[in-house]
Amino acid sequence: MSAIARVLHERGFRVHGSDRQESPITAALPAEGIPVAIGHTAANLGQADLVLISSAVRADNVEVQAARRRGVRVMDRLELLGPLTDGYDVIAVAGAHGKTTVTGMITLLLLDAGLDPTYIVGGVMANLGTNAHAGSGKHFVIEADEYRNTFLALKPTLAVVTNVEFDHPDSFPSPRYVRMAFGEFVDKIRPGGTLVACNDDPVAHAVAASYHANGGHVLLYGQNEGIDLAWQAVNIHTNEQGGVTFTAIHGRETSGDIALQIPGTYNAVNALAALTVASILGIKWKVARAALERFSGTARRFEILGEVDGITVIDDYAHHPTQIRNVLSAARQRYPERPIIAAWEPHTFSRVRALHADFMTAFNEADRVLVLPIYAAREVDDGTLTAEVLAQQIVHPSVTAAVTLEDAIYRLVEQAQPGDVIILMGAGNEYIVGKRLVFELERTS
């Protein structure tokens, strides 16, 4: 929502907003001329001509009700995406995982190539200090969210599918419905457009195969050798920066090595998606490689919050079993000799129940696990699923549970030892725990 607000503000609209609690985003926007009220009241409506709501806002929200009583139009962000992107060559990045990073990489590539795109990224880019911009170029780079089929509002010229996995059980009844949604998404590609898909992921590959069978143009990328791969990554290894280096092969020719600042084999594959888009747009190899090598990630994606007395605190948006495994694997690659403590904040009861078996076996790479209270988001807690219950069920020799976020901070401060790598994982308030943890470690240092 903050990204949309920034784009509209830069286009000349008067924009103000509200949120139920403070965050780094709500702190940053007022300095850019976008006032933000904390807490929801009818008075926040002001003289608005349009009220734009996120998928987390319920129909009984006081501001939504006030707008409808006054006859002010209330629009979901899905309804706005069409008008917002109209007239652009849309580059839409979709996938269960990796879409924020890939969107950020593509954005930086286009900026470095002098194309000045408009962009909306699902996290604040470290290189740019923002998640959105209304550019003067013809391209609109946007993270395409599958939740509640939001991405079906887009008509991309280039569509990227990183992977397809079952998630958002409150939106999709089964994996089949997720597969169908991604099929519909790629069918929205404009005539003459291109689908860029990861060959390593079987469902993404199947979506691409179906689109190709119907006459669509497809380019594939990945680690595994395949027929007509546009880009392939080989010789993937950790580099001195703590990131990952790989050799990029374009078609059957070796282009050269790329040394990323960000860790994890999965990020080498993410970079291939960006390289594929760059080659479609005619961006030169040297420009693409330089942009990827200077890409320093996005907020809440393996974001190092601080290092105190040899203790490293990292925050990551991982809230799906595959993401947890990938992040812990990346941490093990980067810190092979150091103890890794995974502090997991489960995100929504429906997700934990639907993916329960996968969650319970996702922490093998961690030395210790701390389960935080479940972040309910838009859901209601019926009291049957708790952090304590999950801690008893996780397959791991060292798991404990925190009763509150304050309890989690206390436990982590008390138990942290020099050399520990503490990774906060989730899509809720775990980043607050991470920032407070760094503060308390510094205070008691």
Residue 430 confidence (pLDDT) above 90:
yes
Residue 427 within any structural domain of the chain? yes
User: What pLDDT is stored for residue 27 in this prediction?
Assistant: 92
- Closest C-alpha among 83, 94, 89 to residue 52: 83
Range 167-195 average pLDDT: 96
Find where tokens 């169908």 sit: 180
Residue 145 within any structural domain of the chain? yes
pLDDT tens-digit profile of 234-288? 999 999 999 999 999 998 899 999 999 999 999 999 999 999 999 999 999 999 9
Same domain, 401 and 333: yes
Distance between CA atoms of residues 326 and 263, nearest Å? 10
175, with CB counted inside 10 A (0-12, 13-18, 19+), is: middle
pLDDT tens-digit profile of 76-126? 988 999 999 999 999 999 999 999 999 999 999 999 999 999 999 999 999
Same domain, 66 and 113: no
- The CATH number linked to 145 is 3.40.1190.10
- Provide the 10 A C-beta neighbour count for residue 209: 13
Q: Phi then psi for 6, rounded to 5 degrees?
A: -65, -45
Where a domain ends, among 275, 294, 313? 294
Distance between CA atoms of residues 196 and 219, nearest Å? 5
Where a domain ends, among 51, 76, 101? 76
- The CATH number linked to 425 is 3.90.190.20
pLDDT band for position 370 (50/70/90)? Answer: very high
Same domain, 307 and 290: no
**pLDDT, averaged across the chain:** 95
User: What pLDDT is stored for residue 332 in this prediction?
Assistant: 96
- The CATH number linked to 49 is 3.40.50.720
Residue 53 confidence (pLDDT) above 80:
yes
Range 144-157 average pLDDT: 94
Residue 226 confidence (pLDDT) above 90:
no
pLDDT band for position 58 (50/70/90)? Answer: confident
Same domain, 108 and 60: no
Do 73 and 52 touch, CB atoms closer than 8 A? no
User: What pLDDT is stored for residue 56 in this prediction?
Assistant: 79
Same domain, 97 and 53: no
Domain range holding 30?
2-76
User: What pLDDT is stored for residue 227 in this prediction?
Assistant: 72
Phi-psi region of 39 (alpha: psi -120 to 50; beta: other; left: phi over 0): left
Query: What share of the chain has pLDDT > 70, as a percent?
Result: 100
User: What pLDDT is stored for residue 106 in this prediction?
Assistant: 98
Same domain, 106 and 25: no
User: What pLDDT is stored for residue 23 in this prediction?
Assistant: 86
User: What pLDDT is stored for residue 427 in this prediction?
Assistant: 93
Residue 47 within any structural domain of the chain? yes
Residue 82 within any structural domain of the chain? no
Where a domain ends, among 76, 98, 120? 76
Residue 142 within any structural domain of the chain? yes
Same domain, 273 and 325: no
Same domain, 218 and 328: no
Residue 349 within any structural domain of the chain? yes
Same domain, 242 and 116: yes
Question: How many independent structural domains does the chain possess?
Answer: 3
Same domain, 194 and 222: yes
Residue 98 within any structural domain of the chain? yes
Give every CB contact of residue 138 below 8 A, 6+ residues apart in sequence.
88, 89, 115
Residue 225 confidence (pLDDT) above 80:
no
Do 113 and 283 touch, CB atoms closer than 8 A? yes
Residue 81 within any structural domain of the chain? no
Same domain, 355 and 400: yes
Same domain, 117 and 260: yes
Residue 228 confidence (pLDDT) above 90:
no
Do 166 and 350 touch, CB atoms closer than 8 A? no
- Closest C-alpha among 167, 182, 190, 125 to residue 352: 167
Do 401 and 393 touch, CB atoms closer than 8 A? no
Q: Phi then psi for 215, rounded to 5 degrees?
A: 95, 5
Range 68-72 average pLDDT: 96
- DSSP-derived letter for residue 200 is T
- Closest C-alpha among 98, 119, 99, 92 to residue 107: 119
